[in-house]
Amino acid sequence: MDLPFVKEALQQLFSKSSCAMYPVVPSEAAPNYRGRIVYHPDRCIGCGMCERVCSGNAITRMVEHLPEDQGDKITLTFNLGSCTFCATCADFCTTHSIEFTGDYHMVATKEEDLLVSGSFIKAPRKKPAAPAKAAAPEKAAEGCAAAEPAAEAPKPREDGKPVNDPAKCVYCTLCARKCPAGALTVDRAAKTWTLDEDKCVACGTCAEACPKNCIIL
């Protein structure tokens, strides 16, 4: 009598199990797996870009005004129960304050357990230094409006906010469109570039968006 598959059957009987024995043998996520979000509020500048690009509306930003000019307390909450784990927020974050970890154990009985939250205090702008600094971009803008050739490129500022080089600028308005805080106003007709110091969060998105590399940080 011919016994088909006997060899195969015996081999399978004594071979190792192909099953992943998960709860007994712990399993690591693959490298670059996008799991639980870790938020670093110490690095965050509160530009709001993550909230703007989030497709699942998983990110909420709360701004609480503290008394006596102590600044604003900004709280970012990531709802993992609404997250698509696309990591677009982390890609857009200029300060790398959003991190996706390999922790996939996101099991909860309450919705609050799936919230990742962090807050930081944004210090108010120093009042005495403001007028001198505010004058700089206006001066640059005026210089261009009068069509005076700028002798040399403007120097970068100490506070990390952008300065425009009117000699290179073509007033394409890309920087104003990319600005997450709406701090830039560019007028194509009048050829002016103005920065609202109060709104600017010094994220550097404008400099990245600039096709002529004329924004200096």
Which stretches of the chain bind other proteins, using CB under 8 A?
Answer: 18-20, 22-23, 27, 29, 33, 35, 55-58, 79-85, 104-109, 111, 113-114
| 133's tokens | 């600094």
The residue among 106 and 136 lying less far from other proteins, judged by its C-beta, is: 106
Distance CA 174, CA 119 (A): 31
Residues 6 or more apart in contact with residue 20 via CB below 8 angstroms: 27
| 216's tokens | 């200096």
Rounded to the nearest whole angstrom, what is the least distance from the CB of residue 88 to other proteins in the complex? 11
The residue among 107 and 146 lying less far from other proteins, judged by its C-beta, is: 107
Rounded to the nearest whole angstrom, what is the least distance from the CB of residue 49 to other proteins in the complex? 18
The residue among 113 and 142 lying less far from other proteins, judged by its C-beta, is: 113
The residue among 64 and 111 lying less far from other proteins, judged by its C-beta, is: 111
CB 192 within 8 A of CB 186: yes
The residue among 63 and 108 lying less far from other proteins, judged by its C-beta, is: 108
Rounded to the nearest whole angstrom, what is the least distance from the CB of residue 112 to other proteins in the complex? 11
Max distance between CA atoms of the chain, in angstroms, equals 103
Handedness of CA 103, 109, 114, 115 (dihedral sign): negative
Rounded to the nearest whole angstrom, what is the least distance from the CB of residue 81 to other proteins in the complex? 4
78-82 long-range contacts, Cβ below 8 Å, gap at least 24? 78/37, 78/39, 78/115, 78/116, 78/117, 79/114, 79/115, 80/36, 80/37, 80/106, 80/114, 80/115, 80/116, 81/108, 81/111, 81/114, 82/56, 82/57, 82/58
The residue among 11 and 213 lying less far from other proteins, judged by its C-beta, is: 11
Rounded to the nearest whole angstrom, what is the least distance from the CB of residue 102 to other proteins in the complex? 10
SS3 122: strand
Rounded to the nearest whole angstrom, what is the least distance from the CB of residue 99 to other proteins in the complex? 17
CA-based nearest residue to 182, from 161, 200, 202, 163: 200
